[in-house]
Structure 1
């Protein structure tokens, strides 16, 4: 991701921290996909206790696919938490060689991962209560976006000063997609599609999510269109905008397919959430870079 963006030399601590942040973004993306698979496979309560699983670090005697999914999800989450604490320590240790805002951003990421851990525990102790499960995914997406913003903000970048109002449009598109993701999490946590198809219950929740496609899609298309019309736009911004368009098309197609197949194809349901997170991440990266172009040129 970074090599094509390089325009000037940077200090070694910045390079280290940027790569670390991007690695954590990738790990968080994988963790969210794993969490989606755990939910789709009805494995969320396969470990009935928390933080251990059947009172053990590795429940070998009880291990099956569902127990493995929940146990492995916790293992990856714990690893991400430890790496986030390590990142905060590095940011504080090298604070004199890093931007002043970085320790604050690292502290925010550390707060989010602690809060996410609490929510993860509550999802088990409160027996997958839908509002806690929804908040769990919402916090995970915010955590993912935090690492992307840190990564993009640390990239060496030469401002073109041609973005105009694109930072505002990017911010709006990212916000609409994030809200749409929360609605999707609410639909998933309440199993609203299944209940709507089976007995016309919770159809209003499903319809709200379907209606949310409109503002999320239109705002994303506006970003793509304006990026296309801006002839002198930085190539990195143009690539991110077009990538968002690809993810948008994929997400709409997968969403329609998932609904038409009544959520019977589990990998398709997991892919729907993963592509949604990828779309959000692309828009967040675009917006962060567009704001850099605007402010640094000024």
Structure 2
């Protein structure tokens, strides 16, 4: 049976410039949304506004004494913290802007008689992301939803980048197809590692081990993997600060570290094998991401480094996905659409 090929990287003709431009802008906005989402989590602003889509029942953060009094009367258990509320709302504004851009992409694709499959799928994904954003608030940072929201943001960015390439915006040089299987394996390892990182963050386990490379002064501290990998935590509690047991957090932090070692070694070996510019880019991206992760521990989770660690994960995923596309035989196609 003939293998079904995914959309090509190179097309014989480019899609209309307005469509390519709008997709390019959307990629930038999607990256900003990912970074803002990380920043919001790291400053504990996920519940800066206790309702959704507004903030204390308003479209903007309450600012006057009267507005603050009314807001706190409406949500007596959640005093207004303007800094956290604005952080959350700026994130929502950018996410809303991304949704509007997705609608624009669908409209332009229809106008230029391009395939609507990919644009409609992207629009549906962004709408789902909006739902995850709402559930993140209404379910009070339930870790399962927080991680799903994180992965959805990465998926949106990745698919937008893929769509940009299918539009024939630029050509990618080929690399040997023999690396394709290894790149698939590395992609899977990277997704697992990103998921573990999100799980560590959602359960407030980033600094549970204050030392490196040891954890609590030993290679094998007391750990509870059953608690750490409990993906059925109950709905109801406010998960700000985390509800997982101490030993469970130690377990998932160590899992994240062990997975990082595997990703680091596999990534460097793969980069060395690919060589040239693509291999160099991969090697640098892997090293930078590991260095940022170690710095998070050694410097006690400084905000700029922690945000860069999240952004670096997204960029590394884009690098690996691009290499995966480069490892495929490139064919000129009559259509510039997926």
TM-score over 0.5 for the alignment?
A: yes
Deviation (angstroms), 1:104: 1.4
Q: Which runs of 5+ in 1 are unaligned?
A: 1-6, 229-237
The answer to which of 150-159 and 46-55 deviates more is 150-159
Say yes or no: does 1:271 pair with 2:308: yes
> How many pairs align?
275
Question: For each residue in 1:184-226, what CA deviation from the matched residue of structure 2 results, as whole angstroms up to 9, or x when unmatched?
Answer: 0000000013445595442111111111113322342243223
User: 1:27 corresponds to which residue?
Assistant: 29
Tell me the residue number matched to 1:175: 188
Deviation at 1:11, TM superposition (A): 4.3
What is the CA–CA distance in structure 2 between the aligned matches of 1:161 and 1:49, rounded to whole Å?
49
What does residue range 189-228 of structure 1 map to in structure 2 within 5 Å?
189-195=202-208, 199-228=246-275
**Which structure's CA Rg is the greater one?**
2
How is 1:253-268 mapped onto 2 (pairs within 5 angstroms)? 253-263=291-301, 265-268=302-305
Structure 1: distance between partners of 2:38 and 2:171: 38
Q: Pick the aligned partner of 2:111 from 66, 85, 93.
A: 93
Q: Is the 8 Å Cα contact of residues 91 and 106 (structure 1) preserved in structure 2?
A: yes
| TM-score (normalizing by structure 1) | 0.83
Structure with bigger helix share is 1
Partners of 2:174 and 2:154 in 1: how far apart?
A: 30
In structure 2, relative to structure 1, the CA distance for the partners of 1:160 and 1:35 (3 Å cut) is closer
Q: Distance in 2 between matches of 1:64 and 1:159?
A: 46
Unaligned 5+ segments in structure 2 are 1-9, 69-80, 211-215, 217-245, 334-338
Any conservation in 1 of the 2:12–2:332 contact (CA below 8 Å)? Answer: no
In the TM superposition, residue 155 of structure 1 has moved relative to its aligned partner by: 2.9
5 Å-filtered alignment, 1:1-298, equals 10-11=13-14, 13=16, 15-61=17-63, 64-95=82-113, 98=114, 100=115, 103-155=116-168, 163-195=176-208, 199-228=246-275, 238-263=276-301, 265-291=302-328, 294-296=329-331
CA 1:85/1:201 → structure 2, altered by over 3 Å: closer, same or farther?
same
